[in-house]
Structure 1
Amino acid sequence: MFDFSLMLEKFMEYRTQIAEAVGETFLMVGISVLAAILLGLPLGTMLFLTAKGQLRENVTWSVILNGFVNVVRSFPFLLLVVFMIPVTRFLVGTAIGTVAASVPLGIVSIAIYARQVEQSLFEVPRGVVEAAQSMGASKLGIVCKFLFVEARSGLVLGLTTSTISFISYSTVMGVVGGGGVGDFAIRYGYQRFETELMAAVIILMIILVQLVQFAGSMISRWLDKR
């Protein structure tokens, strides 16, 4: 029978290591979210703009950008981590550690959020773009002052969903010494047969995901003026 008191006892016993693991997860996910916003948002916007019938319709660029996103999203993540070791070593000087683990996670985050951005922009009514054009707005103005404004709720929800995916991906980063909550659960819980400790860490992960989802949903509803 599962012992909740033992689970709490184990949690308190390893609270320092758990706090360190949570910090590593936050660092990896934080870097991934930053990469998603700084690079995934522009990439997703370009995916939308170069699509058929859009402001910057361009078949060549559409195929190239969609190809990149599709390849990265379909690549088995663990294999991608290993495949990118030379690139990671070149960029940060090492292939081991939390920052190094953030490189492949950041690449995946860019592709995941780019697709979310594209879908959110496609949901904006065509009439919004036509109205902006009739007022003489530039293409940059249409994107920044009309498309992003109309899609802001969906963009936040997309980032929320993506962030939860980043948290899930971060749990396997122990393969390159990235640490994090998932790595802690495997090393201290599974490999040492500490079932209660592993259960405590799983519950902690569930709470973290729920908090991210709650915050994202609240902000999205607040931004939705429709």
Structure 2
Amino acid sequence: MSANLIPILWEATLQTIYMVVVSGLIGTVLGLPLGVFLATSKRGELLSAPAVNAALGLVVNALRSIPFIILVVAIIPFTRMIAGTSIGTTAAIVPLTLAAAPFIARIVETAIREVEGGLIEAARAMGATPGQIITKVLLPEALPGIVLGLTLAIVSLIGYSAMVGAVGGEGLGDLGIRYGYQRFMPDVMLAVVVILIVLVQAVQSFGEWIARRLDHRAAKDRGL
């Protein structure tokens, strides 16, 4: 691989990290409260609102069912309205966020629903409000599962960020297509693949480490 391509490869890596970090943060900000609400708003639950729960559930399922590459193309007018353009890293953040938010919401919902019901009843018996139960019981207990789920979401976003390169996004995916595929430079394609693998492994390992540190049950097993 030519030395002239190394700066381009470095820039594409930074673009990918930028897209993933920003869309992951915004997706978490949107998906976390949505997931908490979905987990606590069915009939008879803490924030009982079954009609709203069902409506939001349909929206979340609809967004999750759309293949990402189709989602990117379908929301081009919306992307242009939000970002002022439909190409580039900033524009790519819009579909990446829309793909991440419902996924994160379901992850949070699942993690919260796995919390033992006895803890909720004990908190209720002590007079805790729904807000206190959510913030003091459900979220702390579900945090290791949420972290693992967010790790999975970030790994998925890395893959999506590469895919968005096919439709005008920048980053490693765009570099792999323009140089590795269109210009028949397999060494560039190999470098892109290696960097993506390293990013995924780093995120997965870091997420698992954080989840282990947050899991008080695992801490007890270690004698901490």
TM-score by structure 1 length? 0.92
Does the 8 A contact of 2:41 with 2:48 survive in 1? yes
1:61 equivalent in alignment to 2:52: yes
1:49 equivalent in alignment to 2:15: no
TM-aligned CA deviation for residue 114 of structure 1:
0.4
User: Structure 1's 12 and 153: CA in aligned 2 closer, same or farther, altered over 3 A?
Assistant: farther
1:72 equivalent in alignment to 2:67: no
2: CA distance, partners of 1:38 / 1:142: 20
Does the 8 A contact of 1:50 with 1:62 survive in 2? yes
User: Structure 1's 209 and 11: CA in aligned 2 closer, same or farther, altered over 3 A?
Assistant: farther
Amino acid of the structure 1 residue aligned with 2:180: G
Structure 2 counterparts to residues 118-197 of structure 1, below 5 A: 118-197=109-188
Structure 2 gap ranges (5+) = 218-224
2: CA distance, partners of 1:40 / 1:50: 15
Does the 8 A contact of 1:120 with 1:151 survive in 2? yes
TM-aligned CA deviation for residue 18 of structure 1:
0.8
Does the 8 A contact of 1:95 with 1:176 survive in 2? no
Larger RCO of the pair (alpha carbons < 8 Å, separation 6+): 1
Q: Give a deviation string over 1:74-107, Cα, whole Å, max 9, x none.
A: 0121111111111111112222221111101101
RMSD: 1.3
TM-aligned CA deviation for residue 57 of structure 1:
2.5
1:83 equivalent in alignment to 2:74: yes
1:198 equivalent in alignment to 2:165: no
Counterpart residue number, 1:7: none
Does the 8 A contact of 1:101 with 1:176 survive in 2? no
Counterpart residue number, 2:29: 38
Q: Give a deviation string over 1:101-158, Cα, whole Å, max 9, x none.
A: 1101101110110010000001100011111111111111111111000011001001
Partner of 1:124: helix, strand, or coil? coil
Which of 209, 213, 217 is 2:204 aligned to?
A: 213
1: CA distance, partners of 2:84 / 2:160: 22
TM-aligned CA deviation for residue 176 of structure 1:
4.0
How many correspondences in the alignment? Answer: 217
TM-score by structure 2 length? 0.93
TM-aligned CA deviation for residue 60 of structure 1:
0.9
Structure 1 gap ranges (5+) = 1-9
2: CA distance, partners of 1:93 / 1:102: 12
